Structure 1
Amino acid sequence: MVPYLRVANVLDGYIDYSDVNEMNFSPTEQKKYTLQKGDILLNEGQSTELVGRSAIYDGPEDGYCYQNSLVNFRCGSTVEPRFARAVFKRWLDIGHFTTIVKQTTSMAHLGGERFARLAFPVPPLAEQRQLAVILDTIDDAICKTEQIIAKLKQVKQGLLRDLLTRGSDHNGELRDPERHSEQFKHSPMGRIPRTWQASTLGSLLVGSPQNGVYKPGTEYGVSGSPIVRIDAFYDGVLNDVSTFKRVKLTDGERLLYRLEEGNILINRVNSIDYVGKAAHVPQLDEPVVFESNMMRLRVDRTRLDPGYAIRVLCASPARQFFFSRAKSAIAQASVNQTDVRDVPIALPDLGEQQRIVAVLGNFESRLGAEEIVLGKIRLLKRGLMEDLLTGRVRVTRGLEQAAE
């Protein structure tokens, strides 16, 4: 039995060796399909946008074979593998592979012969290596920033859990249930600070949750009012309004479904993993409405800070609650207004809610700053790839200076 790599193992820029299958290869097949270091594997059969996704094989010599759902590009003496992989990455990003794929019923295929006919740039080998060094440096910066962001997200989850169960005292310190057990009490949602109330979301709303507006696809276009759809927010935050689709509405509909700062949106219909997904509505520069597969909540701001509410709704206990209440149907799940009203909330006084929001807000600002840095580095890389891999900008002068 020989281990072999398949489409699932070849990700964007790296190979996942954690889930490798094995099968028998004849000596002839093994000679044909055995991988060598530096081989570049590309997805041959995949969804259209992922055809051509590639990675450089860095496993042991003669250690793995590959399935025929992959294309193996083995560089000749005039091509640097890291340069070739960068070219393939650019082709993937700009949709170049999609121009040659052939679609079958369930997937698209690159086709070895069609792939082989693509015109491939071949600058001098020294220049290829220099380009690879430049792009590797950018990749290292991207990787390090991604690691920082991943760590910050992990820390944020721990901080969120602690603040929503232990709170923040007047000195800004987390209460300690072990050292000061007298400051805590038991509740239906577990141990919470003694001064907090065990409440439900429904008791903290003004009015009832309201479903959004339904409009047929023919009413959507480039004009009209921006509308929030289920893909318009993540982790409690709305995307930029400029990315929203627009819909034609009557004046009455616009007034009835208009969102206001401090409203909370909750997906009532979505896939099981995302049903109950929530977002806080910030200050908006123009009237924005929301779609029928979500609900709008207006919180009683004398008792519940919207910033605190959205943190509760995005935390693991609320997500688990919606999962337990979700009604499944074909390819989707749903929650109703009763489910939303029943969400348990451990409720501090308004001042403590605002302290908790401030602590999390400062941490989220730091996380956001790192994500902005990551976006800028990725944009820089995209620009460099466009310039360097098309020959628009050459690095030969630097090579000549180095030689001198």
Structure 2
Amino acid sequence: MIDASIYPSSWEVCPVGEAGEAIVGQQRSPDTTHGNGLLPYLRVANVQDDALDLNDLTTMRFTGAAREKYRLRDGDVLLCEGQSRELVGRAALYRGEPEELYFQNTVIRFRPHSEILPEFALIVFRAYLYSGVFSEIAKSTTNIAHLGLNRFRSLPFPVPSRATQEAIVDTARSIQSSIDASLSGLASLTYTAERMPADMRDLALLGDRPIGNPGSVDPALSCKWLAAADVVPSDSPIVYGIHQPGPDINDATGVPYIRGQDLRDGYIAADSLKHTSAEIAEQYSRAQLSTGDVLLGIIRSLRVAIVPEELDGAHITQGTARIRPGEEIDSSYLAHWLRSGSAQAWFRSRLRGINMPRLNLRDVQELPVPVRKIPDQIRLGQLLDIATEALEQIVEDANASVGRLRALERDAVNSCAYGAVAHAITKRVAPDRQKDLAQLAVSRIKASSSMANATPKPRKRAASKAAPRKKVTLQSDTNSVQLLASLSRAGHPMTPEDLFRDLELEDSAIDSFFVVLRKLSHEGKITIHRPNDSDVHIERIP
């Protein structure tokens, strides 16, 4: 828990629940997701750090009373109520666009008191995220942490004078604008540097020429075109590997094998390799690897890598194709061709499937390959190696700079919320009246809170005998049929949190919930998407 003594001495402190109104949004249920009058709402995936992602809004129906209660207003602060522990409480500010927008019960809306600037509240909550305040009070259910509305309301909230808040907001905004501009520049640099190698390979290997047909000769390029199946030895055709590797063998008898996810852009993540038994490896001896073999991912990713000497004798799975260069082709040259923009586009045009797009081996075998004299191949391969390594270093340096900027951003937010910057601004702004102004603000806040608590609540009408109120009974567990039915009703990918709530499960059912998820995933009935490090989407496979 945060120690209130870290705030400047002239500031006042009150609970978050008095500094503003904090509520969670409407629960999503089958009754609210069908029919007319569906309206857009925010869920956890839409609330990013200091930004709302409005590109993928989902909809549900809000009744008249719910529309009034859950409609957002300009200046509302949104926080993730349920997230991974390090991201729970992630906060952003709603600035009035789009004009009509609502929020789900996985999100907390904080509507600050008139004495609190919304942007100052956002700074405080971002500081609580970065300093671990939110993760400390959160309660976890398996891999989902919940901030808890009552726990959130009980946190201390700093209240400086209005003038001090304005000065802090101005300073924080200036710092954030500079950081955002630098991050944008680095993102543009990274985007360009990551795409240059493919274009550079096209220029070096094709010039302005199109891909030729196997069996043809291109005098302008001093090359002949062969199908990939014809550049490998006759006794080592293009193949993929093990179908079922079995359990990971951790002792010295295990044989390493390379999966699609072990392929990186240009190399193999050797530290993450799993091992199969010698008996299974022997069954797939035709796909055993040798130094210099070129590997191509054929499921989802089209990454390319060359087998290094230390992985001589390893194996691959069915998600990877092995292309062993024959006498007419150099390994590095072939790998650069497979990674070129033209070859990658050729492959992508032949991918099959939606959830798990893949290439057939026939597609790989039919790829046209420009075959030059071996010395020319080696020279081009070496030039492209040097150029791509330089570009990769630019990307690595840019990513390191992004990391440093993110650390600077976290330090700046903490400093503006209640650290060195906040203390310096407090001393500079109306030093003689700071305490009185802060006390006046808190007294107004507490007076508003007291009035709200004293306001008589409208009496609830007795339920009609003809239409008794439906009692919701939370379930202690779930099964495959219920889970698949829920995904079918939704008609779109769902987060684990949304799916768990839609099934109306007790917290104690979390273990059986994930057991069913894993079972359906292994059976190929659902797909689990991970678009980034923090988000998870579950989709039913038709």
- The interval holding the TM-score normalised by the smaller chain is 0.5 to 0.7
Identity of counterpart residues, as a percentage?
19
| 1:308 CA displacement | 2.6
The match for 1:72 among 109, 112, 117 is 109
| 1:344 CA displacement | 1.7
Relative distance call for 1:35 and 1:139 in structure 2 (3 A) is same
Name the aligned partner's letter for residue 347 of structure 1: V
Relative distance call for 1:338 and 1:122 in structure 2 (3 A) is same
Partner of 1:180: none
Name the aligned partner's letter for residue 219 of structure 1: I
Alpha carbons 2:228, 2:365 under 8 Å: kept: yes
Residue 375 of structure 1: SS of its match in structure 2? helix
Partner of 1:170: none
Residue 217 of structure 1: SS of its match in structure 2? coil
Partner of 1:247: 275
The match for 2:184 among 134, 143, 146 is 143
142-151 or 360-369: bigger deviation: 360-369
- Equivalences for residues 87-166 of structure 1 within 5 A: 87=127, 90=130, 96=135, 99-100=138-139, 110=146, 113=149, 116=152, 119=155, 122=158, 137-166=178-207
Relative distance call for 1:370 and 1:141 in structure 2 (3 A) is farther
| Deviation readout 1:139-176 (Å, 9 max, x if unpaired) | 4433321111112334444333333432xxxxxxxxx6
Relative distance call for 1:368 and 1:67 in structure 2 (3 A) is same
CA distance in 1, matches of 2:204, 2:217: 13
Alpha carbons 2:39, 2:60 under 8 Å: kept: yes
193-202 or 7-16: bigger deviation: 7-16
Relative distance call for 1:208 and 1:371 in structure 2 (3 A) is same
CA distance in 2, matches of 1:333, 1:389: 42
Larger Cα-atom Rg = 2
Q: Does 1:342 align with 2:366?
A: yes
Q: Does 1:39 align with 2:76?
A: yes
Q: Does 1:368 align with 2:395?
A: no
Name the aligned partner's letter for residue 66 of structure 1: Y
Structure 1 vs Structure 2 CA RMSD: 5.1
Partner of 1:171: none
Partner of 1:169: none
Alpha carbons 1:15, 1:56 under 8 Å: kept: yes
Alpha carbons 1:102, 1:109 under 8 Å: kept: yes
Alpha carbons 2:175, 2:412 under 8 Å: kept: no
Relative distance call for 1:379 and 1:201 in structure 2 (3 A) is same
| Deviation readout 1:235-274 (Å, 9 max, x if unpaired) | 34333x33x14436559959x6775543211235x3xx33
CA distance in 2, matches of 1:146, 1:223: 45
| Deviation readout 1:381-404 (Å, 9 max, x if unpaired) | 56557767778x942598279949
CA distance in 2, matches of 1:251, 1:363: 43
Q: Does 1:230 align with 2:260?
A: yes
The match for 2:228 among 194, 201, 218 is 201
Partner of 2:324: 298
Alpha carbons 2:47, 2:80 under 8 Å: kept: yes
Alpha carbons 2:328, 2:374 under 8 Å: kept: yes
- Equivalences for residues 3-18 of structure 1 within 5 A: 4-7=40-43, 9-18=46-55
For structure 1, the 5+ residue unaligned runs are: 167-175, 178-183
TM-score, scaled to structure 2: 0.53
Name the aligned partner's letter for residue 135 of structure 2: H
Residue 267 of structure 2: SS of its match in structure 1? strand
Relative distance call for 1:6 and 1:285 in structure 2 (3 A) is same
| 1:15 CA displacement | 2.6
Residue 303 of structure 1: SS of its match in structure 2? coil
Name the aligned partner's letter for residue 209 of structure 1: I
Alpha carbons 2:266, 2:304 under 8 Å: kept: yes
- Equivalences for residues 170-185 of structure 1 within 5 A: none
- Equivalences for residues 246-395 of structure 1 within 5 A: 246-247=274-275, 250=278, 259-268=289-298, 270=299, 273-274=300-301, 277-281=302-306, 283=308, 289-293=314-318, 294-300=320-326, 302-319=327-344, 321-322=346-347, 332=356, 335=359, 337-381=361-405, 383-384=407-408, 394-395=419-420
CA distance in 2, matches of 1:117, 1:288: 60
Q: Does 1:215 align with 2:215?
A: no
Name the aligned partner's letter for residue 143 of structure 1: S
Alignment length, in residue pairs? Answer: 374
Relative distance call for 1:208 and 1:141 in structure 2 (3 A) is same
For structure 2, the 5+ residue unaligned runs are: 1-36, 430-542
Relative distance call for 1:238 and 1:248 in structure 2 (3 A) is closer
CA distance in 2, matches of 1:163, 1:89: 49
